[in-house]
Amino acid sequence: MAKQNIELIVNGDRYELAVEPWRTLADVLREDLRLTGTKIGCAQGDCGACTVLMDGRSISSCLTLAVEAHQRDITTIEGLSPSPDKLHPIQEAFVQHGAVQCGYCTPGMVLAAKHLLDANPEPSEAEIRQGLSGNLCRCTGYNKIVDAIGAAAKKLSDAGKEA
């Protein structure tokens, strides 16, 4: 099948690519752009490991064709922090609260949390759990992840009030 030319804006960088129309965004991010922070678990929309932001909304990149992302703004875990030597506050909170074990779910969890906190800066615990309902973790039991996101919300919200 003929390749299609697409343009992706990933973490602020513009890429021109020729891709088969059946390739997923997850595959193109990992294989063509070498952004392997985006993980593939189930490859069928169940686990959330492949979560990225597209125009600020969290999506399953395993269910999104790369051609659907043409000229869309994509954020992967590699692009979340403001600089390579600094973690985003959500990532810092995951480290501080022991919310990472094997780490396979972590990029998707962090990006789902980013989407949640952008939409709802002061979520309740129930709202955090709801916001993570599309992301599975087989290691942590979720409580430390929920605690980390609550702490990140407080830190981001306090920083916003001081700014």
Of residues 103 and 121, the one with the C-beta less far from ligand FES: 103
Residue 50 engages ligand FES in binding (rule: CB under 6 A): yes
Token readout for 57 is 């909304």
Of residues 86 and 138, the one with the C-beta less far from ligand FES: 138
Stretch that binds ligand FES, among 29-37, 42-50, 88-96, 118-126 (CB under 6 A): 42-50
Query: Which has the closest alpha carbon to 65: 34, 20, 33, 109?
Result: 20
Rounded to whole angstroms, the Cα distance separating 103 from 33 reads: 21
Of residues 61 and 80, the one with the C-beta less far from ligand FES: 61
Rounded to whole angstroms, the Cα distance separating 116 from 160 reads: 16
Token readout for 119 is 């939409």
Rounded to whole angstroms, the Cα distance separating 118 from 137 reads: 22
Binding ligand FES (rule: CB under 6 A), the pick from 111, 137, 146, 148 is: 137
In the chain, what is the straight-line distance between the N-terminal and C-terminal CA atoms, in Å?
52
One character per residue 64-103, x = contact with ligand FES (rule: CB under 6 A):
------------------------------------xxxx
- Nearest-approach distance from CB 7 to ligand FES, in angstroms: 23
Residues within window 101-130 making contact with ligand FES, judged by CB under 6 A: 101-106
Rounded to whole angstroms, the Cα distance separating 67 from 53 reads: 16
- Nearest-approach distance from CB 157 to ligand FES, in angstroms: 25
Stretch that binds ligand FES, among 1-9, 47-55, 85-93, 155-163 (CB under 6 A): 47-55
Rounded to whole angstroms, the Cα distance separating 114 from 80 reads: 9
Strand, coil or helix: what is 158? helix
Residues that bind ligand FES (CB under 6 A): 40-43, 45-50, 60, 62, 100-106, 137-140
